[in-house]
Amino acid sequence: MGDEDRLRKAGLRVTAARLAIMQTVREGDHLDVDAVHRGVRDRVGQVSLQAVYDSLHALQRGGLLRRIEPAGSPARYETRVGDNHHHLVCRQCGKVTDVDCAVGHAPCLAPASDAGYLVDEADVIYWGLCPDCRSEDAR
């Protein structure tokens, strides 16, 4: 299914900016808003930062993008949605890497106590040093 169809299925208008955002985020690596804005400008020309924020919010609300917010880092966006995957974040350079659930069936959706909540998503972030930063530290 193409991005135009995904937008329509989510009940969103198809615009050049939204298509450019989807493409930019898909081709990027957990991009922050500034990087998305630059990518959209490169694809469609002038677009305001506020328009990018608004579209990112609409695309997230429509289930087409996922927003992650590692502590001490700006919000980042990805197109991998709906599979309850997690993230590795480098403490030194901030690189973010997807990681599947440790045992393959999302046990994190069954917490020891749900306090009456209906749990539908878990956001697990593993912190450490990426291979590049580990190599630099070893020098």
Give the annotated binding-site residues for Zn(2+).
Answer: 90, 93, 130, 133
One-letter amino acid of 124: V
Looking at the DSSP assignment, which residues form a beta bridge with residue 89?
96, 127
Residue ranges of the binding site: 90, 93, 130, 133
Q: Are 39 and 31 in contact (CB under 8 A)?
A: yes
Please, how many CA atoms are within 13 Å of residue 92, restricted to the half-sphere of its CB?
Answer: 10
Residue 97: φ, ψ to 5°: -130, 135
